[in-house]
Amino acid sequence: MDRCPMHANPMPTTSGQAALWYADQKRAANGGYNVSIVWTINQDVPAPEIAVSWSRLRQEVPALSVRMGLDRDGAVVQWTCAEELAQEYADFADSPDAEMEAAAFLSARTARAFDTDGGPLARLVVARVSREVMVVTLVAHHLIVDGVSQVHLARRFAAALQPFGEEPSSQHYADLIDLVRQDESRTHPADRAYWSERVAGFLNGADWFAADPMGDLGVRAGRRRGEVVGADLASLTAAARDLGVGLYLLVAAAVHRAMAMAGVERTVVCSAVSVRPIGGALDDVVGCFINLVPLTARHLPGETLGELVRREAAGWRRDHCHRNLSLLEIGGTGSPPNRLDRVFFSYRETDPTLTWTGPGPDVSADLFTEYPATRSDLTVRVLRGVDRLHYEVEWSTATPWGAVFADALEVCLQSPSR
C-alpha cells in the first residue's frame, strides 16, 4: 500500500514514540519491532465476515490508522489515514500439510517490515487451516501498540466476532497523546538532571557492551521459554513480600543477578514502563504509551539476589518516578552518549492466552507470540498469569553468553535465595 499524504495539521508524537521511530530508522528494517496477536477461531467463519469485523475494529481504534513521518521542521509527527488497511487471506483447508503451510504463510507476513515513513503500521493476515479452524493474525508496528493495548485489541476483535456486547470505543487517542506530552513538558527538565547523574559511570562501552551507539544488532542466536509454577512461584512471591517489593522488581533484580552470574560487573536493564496517566478515563485507549527506564546495578562478589534487591530497590523506585524522558534522551545526557539499550525487559500481568466462548464461535488469542527478529542483544519478557509466571529469554550473536544467562535466570527465579 502506498504512503498516505501527511495531513496539513498532523498530531505530535510522544517522546517515547519519537525515540522508537528513530530506533527503527537507524537499523535496517527487519520486523524486529513488529507486534502480533494471533486469534484462533474454532469455526469456519467466512472471510467476508472477518473482513467486516476487521473494518469495525479499525473504525473503533484510531491507532490502527496512524501513519508517522518527519514534518518540515524535522519533528516526528503522526496523522490518521482513511485508506483501508491491508488484509491477506489464504485457504489451506484442502492441503495435506495445512498446519505447516499456514504457519509458514503467517510467519512470513508477521516478519515483513513496515514502512514507518508514511506507510501503514498494521495489517491483518487470515489463514483457513481446516473446515473448523481459522487463524487470524494482527501484525502492528510497536509504534502504535504497547503491551496494555494488546489485551484491549484481543478483546475487541473477539467482541466483533462474538455477539456478547461491544467493548467501549476508543475515540480519545489524540486526548491521551496530549496528556502524555503535558506530563513530558512538566517533568523533562527535572528528569534530564536526574538521569545525567543516575547513569554516570554506566557507559556500556566496557565488558560485553559495544561502544558504538549506532551499532547493528546481531542475528538471533538463541531463544528459551520457561515457567515458574506451584511451590517455586509461591517461594518467589514470598521472597518479594519479605523484601518489601512487588514481584516486578524482584524479577527485574533476577535479570540483573543472572547477568552478574554470567560475568557482567555493571549492568543496565531497560524496563518497559507505561506513561499512561494512572486511573484515568483513557485507560482503554489503544496506542503505544511506553518509555524505557534504565535500571542500573553494580554487583558485589558473593552477593545474593535478596542483597541486591535491598541495596538497589530504593533507587529503582526513584527511577520509575522519572519515566517521562525517553531512552534516546537519557542516553544523550552523558558524554560520550550512553549506550543503554542492550537489555530489554518487559513485565505484564496477564495470561498469555485469552479465551471467549458464547453463542458465536469459540475464540482464543495468543498474546505471547515470538518476535520475528531481535530488537536488542538480550531480551527478557515476563507474563504473570493467574497461576504461573511465564518468561522468555532471547539473545543475539552479540551475546555469546546468552545460554549461560538463561540458565542463571532460571536458577534465580526458581531459587530466589541464591
Q: What is the pLDDT of residues 15-32, one digit of tens each?
A: 999 999 998 887 766 788
pLDDT class for 82, splitting at 50, 70, 90? confident
- Say yes or no to pLDDT of 213 above 50: no
Task: Report the pLDDT value the prediction gives residue 265, as an integer from 0 to 100.
Answer: 83
Given the DSSP bridges, would you call strands 66-70 and 343-348 parallel, antiparallel or unpaired? unpaired
Q: How many residues are listed for the chain in this entry? A: 418
pLDDT band at 6 (very low <50, low <70, confident <90, very high): confident
Please state, for a pLDDT cut of 90, what percent of the chain lies above it: 65
What's the pLDDT at 336?
52
Mean of per-residue pLDDT scores for the chain = 89
Residues 227-232 have a mean pLDDT of: 96
Q: What confidence score (pLDDT) does residue 210 get?
A: 45
Q: Which of 130, 126, 61, 391 is nearest to 247 (CA)?
A: 391
Q: What pLDDT score was predicted for residue 344?
A: 94
How far apart CA 15 and CA 323 sit, in angstroms, is: 11
Question: Which of 88-97, 127-136, 203-212 comes out lowest in average pLDDT?
Answer: 203-212
Is the confidence at residue 207, as pLDDT, over 60? no
Q: Residue 185 contacts by C-beta under 8 Å, 6 or more apart in sequence?
A: none
Residue 214 has pLDDT above 50, yes or no: no
Q: Span 89-108, mean pLDDT? A: 95
- Whether residue 324 has pLDDT greater than 60: yes
Model confidence at 164: pLDDT above 60? no
Whether 224 has a pLDDT exceeding 60, the answer reads: yes
The lowest-confidence range among 36-40, 203-207, 211-215, 410-414 is 211-215
How large is the average pLDDT for residues 140-159?
Answer: 93
- Please check the confidence at residue 124 and state whether its pLDDT lies above 70: yes
pLDDT of residue 216: 52
Mean pLDDT of 263-286: 88
pLDDT in tens, 337-363: 566 878 999 999 999 999 998 777 899
Predicted confidence at residue 328, as pLDDT, reads 84
Confidence of residue 91 (pLDDT cuts 50, 70, 90): very high
Mean pLDDT on 122-139: 95
State yes or no: pLDDT of 169 exceeds 80.
Answer: no
**CA atoms of 119 and 272, how far apart (whole Å):** 25
Q: Band of the pLDDT at 408, cuts 50, 70, 90?
A: very high
Answer whether residue 268 shows pLDDT above 60.
yes
Residue 60 banded pLDDT, cuts 50, 70, 90: confident
Model pLDDT, residue 240: 97
pLDDT at 266: 85
pLDDT at 2 over 70: no
The answer to which of 15-19, 43-47, 236-240 has the lowest mean pLDDT is: 43-47
Average pLDDT over residues 112-119: 93
Which pLDDT value is given to residue 3? 76
Confidence of residue 333 (pLDDT cuts 50, 70, 90): low
Q: What is the pLDDT of residue 382?
A: 98
Q: Cell 498516505 maps to which residue?
A: 4
Residues 6+ apart with CB under 8 A from 144: 63, 64, 66, 121, 122, 286, 287, 288
For residue 205, pLDDT over 90 is answered with: no
